[in-house]
Structure 1
Amino acid sequence: MAAIGVHLGASCACAAVYKDGRADVVANDAGDRVTPAVVAFSESEEVVGLAAKQSRIRNVSSTVVKVKQILGRSSGDPQAEKYIAESKCSVIEKNGKLQYEIDNKLITPEDVAKLIFSKMKETAQSALGSDVNDVVITVPFDFGENQKNALGEAAAAAGFNVMRLIHEPSAALLAYGIGQDSPTGKSNVLVYKLGGTSLSITVIEVNSGIYRVLATNTDDTIGGVCFTEALAQHLASEFQRSCKHDIRGNPRAMMKLMNSADIAKHSLSTLGSANCFVDSLYDGLDFDCNVSRARFELICSSLFSKCVEAIKKLLQQVGFTADDINKVVLCGGSARIPKLQQLIKDIFPTVELLNSIPPDEVIPIGAAIEAGILLGKENPLLEEEALIECSAKDILLKGVDESGADKFTVLFPSGTPLPARRQHTLHAPGNTSSVCLELYESLGKSPMSEEGKFAQIVLQDLDKKEDGLHDILTVLTMKRDGSLHVTCTDQDTGKCEIITVEVAS
């Protein structure tokens, strides 16, 4: 029996197959082990992968990139709005759904994801030589139910039998056999994933084969594309210096430079220097430039600092020092960069840094191993209950402090194992007859804003007090599916209000 593991990232997709007790990433028809998650549309066909990425210069408004960022989201979602603002493809809302408008045709994000999954299925089946459809799909830790459902449905529409969705950090641990090779004893593992468009860091406690997320944080302002852009800006400066033309305002020329910078960036992970050549970059002029690894590291030094500072912040959040971490797992294509690996080693000088599997292949390999476990070909150590669902975001209650300023209390920190129950007494001025309690969600990296508010509950007709405070007992229960049940009770009158939020996090 064989099975498949698929990781669909924002910039790339990768498939691994499980057969004869081992999992391996398989190459696509172009011979590449990783496929760009890019789909180009024309009147007669849809092209997926490298060919679509390379033709984007000529076909930018008909080429979809980063579909994972909008999958399962709706208009009004801050992430969706950011994506729409940056997208070179037209994105509109029709019948309550976001859709791409390409050549007068409407295409849903799920349709785009289905085409990428179809490519992954074709790649895996070609390597196996059989029509295997059983698959495990990986999802980011901060994906909500709508996004998970959209991803699963797109895979099913591509003809996959989706056995399970598992979180990317869990897949990374499975790839290295963490929690399986030595099932007794407790250890803390930091999973560091630097993908094309985001940085995710997760601290997981492994205890007797059970994974429990202690803390997680995702920063979508840093990713592999930032390194590519920094290098492309440097190349633009070099072109201006040698050819006396500033091409920074020319989208077509800059996209050519981005493609060249991307290839050079990958080369610099294994070579000491890389050549950037662009045929007819601008006004018929060719561009040829050599970039050393040292120059690249200098250009990106502030980005590297941002990437390692995020580790220190997360350790501080969970109350850990570097010595509390037993292993560090590297995943995501940009975690290949030697300078970044060295900086991480500097933070954890005595900790085992796991990078023997190419970082961009770790997560799909873990998914394929999970698929093998589900088929019963391995010791079924990771049963259903061993993967503990956790809250993806901080859930906070807004109150007021003694000076009248807004005060936010974290009731469910991100990574709280579910189901969970919290009790909190909110104090409100006695001279008011109604109290409004507001609930917010946050990834912990930005100040609270109205966009983070997802629910409110109002207690009315309270007895006013000349002095003293209203004591409002708030009981919150978050279920395994992320839904939140909230009960608010005024301790003096017994007045009570109850609400249920379907998916809080």
Structure 2
Amino acid sequence: MATVFGLSLGNHQGVISVFKNGRSEVLANESGERETPMLVTYKDDTILVGSAAKGALYRNFQYTAIAMPSLLGTDLNENEEKKVSNITIIKKGGNICYKFEREGKPRLVPVKDTLGKVLEQLAATARSCESVSSGSIHCVLSVPIHYDTDHVSLLKQCVETHGFTVISTPPSPMLSVLPYGLDKDSYTGHVLVYDVGVNSISLTVIRLINGLMKLVGTRTINGVGGYDIDQELLSVLKDECKRYFRKDVTGGKYAVNKLLAAAESLKQSLTNQQTGPVYVESLHDGMDFQCNVTRGRFEGVCQSIFTSFLDPIQGFLNSLGLTGSNINKVILIGGTCKIPRLQQLMKDVFSSSEVYYFISTDHVVSLGAALEASYHQVTSGLSLSSTIPVTTNDLSLTFSNCVTPASVVLLGKHTPLPVCKTINTKIEVSEPGRPVIIAIKETAVLGEVCDFF
């Protein structure tokens, strides 16, 4: 039986996990890191990928692309351009491409090729497992729940072009439930999955009924995310530079890029300690820059950003006919959700709920994908035609010829497959000896029959 991996691709980093010895674990890449940056640098004839690109980012900022899976589905007309972070993208020949300047001439690199560079590195990480033989690597690929069918298809095609065979593509929020074991409990209630990305926030409510999952609703808010915090910390470091050098030395791109990299590192430091040291070598005229930023100052300058992260929650719940008191559990996803202040604010908003973040918010989706992968019995000769598609509607059991006809949900919409569940239900027959008709039906809305199986 071949090993199957769990693969999670964000707009900031990629994570690959494997299920072995009875549990999921995240694999470390060749740099010893468990998160591979989604960065690729194209400078002259040199290509740097992942950690190598991140390490030299401040020198190569204008030549570095963020290999964002979300860009695969960008809606542009032919030759239309759009600015994304520090890079321009353009649609050329039907492909979304990054546009660089090289020796005064434009250089176009397809987004799928850039993403492929990171995927090849993740595939190499998977092959470091002793149980992996040569050939394609089987994986469960998590996808954001707001991706449409075409976007998922493009991402899946890109992943399979670079060393993987995709067994299934479950939505990320559903997978985040698995590492916490909520799908195995006799728990019934609503779960809010709160995902803060680089430039977006996703909210998803899942209804769990004795371990069965049903999607209640989802919403994605674009234009807000962890990038806003980096920019706020960049402003703090610029102010500190003025005090340190007694003048503004951040007018050039080189200095700003160095400080931006320092701001991101500072954010990570302040998630674990009360004071974050900042040291930037040769920032101005060969002189180094150093300072310290306390967590209290960080939380103060970013308070309005944290508030903006929470603002959409109530409106989203209201649109589903729910309130905060209806949410029993909250699962946090994304590196930004490591910030203690944001965790505390979520606890304050959902004071009567359990807030889950004790599994790394960077890894929880990939670990869930690895758990899902463990359910698949995969052989080296498996073809995609023999896999089970993820249902897009509810599957229900309907009982007829009963005193009271009944319908019981077997599998909720977007439940990751394969799955093994036991359901106990009681029925009362209308006439002794008369057979009870049991039908499995697919329903787009609970109670509305769409099709028979």
Q: TM-score under structure 1 normalisation?
A: 0.71
Is the contact made by 1:71 and 1:151 (CA closer than 8 Å) also made in structure 2? yes
- Alpha-carbon separation, structure 2, partners of 1:241 and 1:311: 39
Question: Which aligned pairs between 1:451-490 and structure 2 lie closer than 5 A?
Answer: none
Name which structure has the greater RCO, CA cutoff 8 Å, separation 6+. Answer: 2
- Alpha-carbon separation, structure 1, partners of 2:71 and 2:18: 27
Residue in 2 aligned with 1:319? 321
Residue in 2 aligned with 1:339? 341
CA drift at 1:192: 1.0
CA drift at 1:364: 0.4
CA drift at 1:274: 0.8
Is the contact made by 1:239 and 1:287 (CA closer than 8 Å) also made in structure 2? yes
SS of equivalent to 1:326: strand
Question: Which aligned pairs between 1:82-101 and structure 2 lie closer than 5 A?
Answer: 84-101=82-99
From 291, 302, 305, the equivalent of 1:303 is 305
Which residue identity lines up with residue 202 of structure 2 in the other structure? S
- Alpha-carbon separation, structure 1, partners of 2:251 and 2:348: 39
CA distances 1:358-409 after superposition (whole Å, capped 9, x unpaired): 11100100111111112389xxxx984446259xxxxxxxxxxxxxxxxxxx
Residue in 2 aligned with 1:196? 198
Q: CA 1:129 to 1:43, structure 2 compared with 1: closer, same or farther past 3 Å?
A: farther
Structure 2 unmatched ranges of 5 or more? 380-387, 392-410, 416-441
CA drift at 1:45: 4.6
SS of equivalent to 1:264: helix
SS of equivalent to 1:241: helix
Residue in 2 aligned with 1:242? 244
Which residue identity lines up with residue 62 of structure 1 in the other structure? Y
Residue in 2 aligned with 1:57? 58
Question: Which aligned pairs between 1:223-234 and structure 2 lie closer than 5 A?
Answer: 223-234=225-236
From 258, 261, 274, the equivalent of 1:256 is 258
Is the contact made by 1:11 and 1:197 (CA closer than 8 Å) also made in structure 2? no
Is the contact made by 2:14 and 2:37 (CA closer than 8 Å) also made in structure 1? yes
**Higher deviation after alignment, 267-276 or 195-204:** 195-204
CA drift at 1:44: 4.3
Is the contact made by 1:327 and 1:351 (CA closer than 8 Å) also made in structure 2? yes
SS of equivalent to 1:214: strand
Q: CA 1:275 to 1:319, structure 2 compared with 1: closer, same or farther past 3 Å?
A: same
- Alpha-carbon separation, structure 2, partners of 1:158 and 1:364: 19
From 139, 144, 147, the equivalent of 2:148 is 144
From 213, 220, 223, the equivalent of 1:221 is 223
CA drift at 1:254: 1.1
**Higher deviation after alignment, 7-16 or 91-100:** 91-100
- Alpha-carbon separation, structure 2, partners of 1:88 and 1:271: 30
CA drift at 1:42: 4.0
Q: CA 1:389 to 1:237, structure 2 compared with 1: closer, same or farther past 3 Å?
A: same
Residue in 2 aligned with 1:362? 364
Which residue identity lines up with residue 219 of structure 1 in the other structure? I
CA drift at 1:109: 1.1
CA drift at 1:167: 0.8
Is the contact made by 1:3 and 1:19 (CA closer than 8 Å) also made in structure 2? no
- Alpha-carbon separation, structure 1, partners of 2:348 and 2:61: 41
- Alpha-carbon separation, structure 1, partners of 2:76 and 2:351: 45
SS of equivalent to 2:183: coil
Q: CA 1:90 to 1:312, structure 2 compared with 1: closer, same or farther past 3 Å?
A: closer
* RMSD after superposition: 2.8
Residue in 1 aligned with 2:425? none
SS of equivalent to 2:291: strand
Q: CA 1:112 to 1:253, structure 2 compared with 1: closer, same or farther past 3 Å?
A: same
CA distances 1:1-22 after superposition (whole Å, capped 9, x unpaired): 4211111101111111112332
SS of equivalent to 2:33: coil
CA distances 1:157-210 after superposition (whole Å, capped 9, x unpaired): 11101001111101111222222233xx63100001112222111111122443
Is the contact made by 1:100 and 1:108 (CA closer than 8 Å) also made in structure 2? yes
The answer to whether structure 1 residue 29 and structure 2 residue 33 are counterparts is: no
SS of equivalent to 2:203: strand
CA distances 1:239-282 after superposition (whole Å, capped 9, x unpaired): 11231332454222111111111111101111110101111212
SS of equivalent to 2:292: strand
Residue in 1 aligned with 2:413? 388
CA drift at 1:50: 1.6
Question: Which aligned pairs between 1:120-131 and structure 2 lie closer than 5 A?
Answer: 120-131=122-133
Which residue identity lines up with residue 10 of structure 2 in the other structure? G
Q: TM-score under structure 2 normalisation?
A: 0.79
CA drift at 1:40: 1.4
Which residue identity lines up with residue 10 of structure 1 in the other structure? N
Question: Which aligned pairs between 1:155-170 and structure 2 lie closer than 5 A?
Answer: 155-170=159-174
Residue in 2 aligned with 1:174? 178
Q: CA 1:170 to 1:123, structure 2 compared with 1: closer, same or farther past 3 Å?
A: same
